Structure 1
């Protein structure tokens, strides 16, 4: 069944791993902390325990690098029974600072697509994470000029999107969300009557994964790269 986008007025974009690279840096940081703590546990156990702490701490710290770093420090204290050295704590803090200071690596064709779509549609960013960090990344990306509105959400659930659409003063049928996470960017939107386009990224945080049963019968398009979206939204001549 072909999806009709003719009613769309506003297009929302996830930021991390939709507009630019992000999750790759978390995987690299996990490998580094695994090496730092390797004399306390196996790499697999370290990964499992870090994920457990991240999920436990989400209601307290939210998403983003800062909460991730605090979870890594907590992990180091737990695995070492409180004996972890100041040197290792300092190295974990530096891992976090290095993540925050990473250059913004735009995904292929992002700016060209935004430039084209902004001629005919109101574009917004709808992302989650640390507000300061996301604002910094948007500023460094050079993409701010294409967006009418920036929304950093504490969560990406149906209620959060409903509040966003109310703020934008549009009906769900007039909104399209584009993102890499089925759990955060696709399913909640389809459930409230909006449209969504999925662009898979090569690595996905375990917390964002969904089962096949959750996506069965859900109508959305999947594209390999953002540039393919222009086959649904022809640029103005």
Structure 2
């Protein structure tokens, strides 16, 4: 590896270490079916996405904000006539999401185990504090991490601060995740390596252009390829 040696690796959580977006998609389908008399699935989904986009700065990321956005959308598309039974179903759907078992993605435990003895591993995730703590506990992955950081948002300053606190600074760190917008681009801007591991269901608001010309950008097919990639840097 040229330059400063790698000493710390940050990992995103949702859809990098365990499944997440698929449960949002299933709930969105259920939500659209509840409102089928007021529009086709794609129309309801479009209204919901607009509500989520508006509400990110207010509610942040996670299931609770998603649930509130569904309620707002139901009121909007029914012109304020959404029955209490629909609101009740939305609340039930959100509650079920908060209790859904964690499904760890393939090759994740083995990869973390291989790397944990060589580098300081840091979980860097955004979203609701209680829900992220629940998922980490259920995943059984907590012991692999030197530090856990649950943040309200991810930007270059966030990565610079975390990698300085738990490592030797961003130049000696790497961020691994499925979101170009949140995991990769701001980590690269902070001076870290950025390793993109795509997930088929990454939320549309996390999409961005791949920074293919950045010398510290890498893309993998699976997280299991990470140790070999690091060995080649």
Q: Give the TM interval when normalised to the shorter protein.
A: over 0.9
Moved more, 152-161 or 70-79: 152-161
> 2: CA distance between counterparts of 1:221 and 1:72?
36
Larger mean Cα displacement after TM superposition, 164-173 or 57-66: 164-173
| 2:227 is the counterpart of 1:230 | yes
Which of residues 214, 219, 230 in structure 2 aligns to 1:218? 214
CA contact (8 A) 1:117 1:233 kept: no
Secondary structure class of the residue paired with 1:39: helix
In the alignment, does 2:44 pair up with 1:51?
A: no
Task: Report the counterpart of residue 180 of structure 1 in structure 2.
Answer: 178
CA distance in 2 between counterparts of 1:99 and 1:4 reads 44
Aligned ranges for residues 106-121 of structure 1 at < 5 Å? 106-121=104-119
For 1:125-168, what per-residue CA distance to the aligned partner results, in whole angstroms no more than 9, with x for missing partners?
Answer: 00111111000000000011111111111111112212222322
- Where do 5+ consecutive residues of structure 2 fail to align? none
The 1:114/1:169 distance shift into structure 2, 3 A limit, reads: closer
Gaps of 5+ in 1: none
Report the Cα distance in structure 2 between the residues aligned to 1:204 and 1:135, rounded to whole angstroms.
21
Asked if structure 1 preserves the Cα contact closer than 8 Å seen for 2:188 and 2:194, the reply is: yes
Distance 1:11 1:26 in 2: 28
How many residues get paired?
230
